Amino acid sequence: MRKTVLFLWLLLLSAAAAAGEEQIKYYRVDSVKTIKGEVVDIKSETSFHKSDFTVIYLKEKKSGEIYRVEVSPGWFFNMDVMIGSKIEITGSCTVENGVNLVMTRSIAFQGEIFLFRDKYGFPLWRGKRGQPNRGGQGKHRRRGKH
C-alpha cells in the first residue's frame, strides 16, 4: 500500500513538473527556410514563458500545410498584417508533436520587410521594451511615429 502511494506521488510530481516546464526551443540556423503563404489567424499565445506572444497561423501556398509562426512579444509586433494577408516568412523550422513550427527571423508584406531576429536567431526585441519594431528598411529610430 505504502509503495503504491509513493508511486502515485512520484507520478503526480513528475506530471506537475512536466506541465510547468515549457519545452526549450532553439533557433537553429541550419533549419532556416522561407515560406510563402496566407495568414489564416493571428493570436496572442504563451511562448517562451511570455503570455503575450504574437503567433501567426500561416497556410503555405504550395503545400497547403499550416504553420504555427512564433513572431515576437506583442508590443514589438508592429505590422498591419491581417487575416488573408499574403506574406513571406523566413525562420527556423521544426516539427513538434506533429505541428510545423517556425521561429521567425523576418516577415515581408506589401513590399516591406520587418526583422525580428538576427541571422543567429538572437531576438531583436531584447532590451527594447516600449519600442515597437520600426521595420527593416532604413527606418531610423524616431520616437512617436508609427
Which residues of the shown chain bind other proteins in the complex (CB under 8 A)? 36, 42, 44, 52, 54, 74-75, 77, 80, 82-88, 106, 108-113, 115, 118-119, 124, 126-132, 136-138, 140-141, 143-144, 146
Kindly state the smallest distance separating residue 130's Cβ from other proteins, in Å: 3
Q: Looking at beta carbons only, is 22 or 118 nearer to other proteins?
A: 118
For residues 146 and 104, give the distance between their C-alpha atoms in angstroms, rounded to a whole number.
Answer: 22
Kindly state the smallest distance separating residue 114's Cβ from other proteins, in Å: 10
User: 30 in the Ramachandran plot: left (φ > 0), alpha (ψ -120 to 50) or beta?
Assistant: alpha
Residue with cell 533549419: 31
Kindly state the smallest distance separating residue 141's Cβ from other proteins, in Å: 6
Q: Cα angle vertex 70, ends 69, 71, to 5°?
A: 105
For residues 137 and 54, give the distance between their C-alpha atoms in angstroms, rounded to a whole number.
Answer: 22
Q: Looking at beta carbons only, is 87 or 101 nearer to other proteins?
A: 87
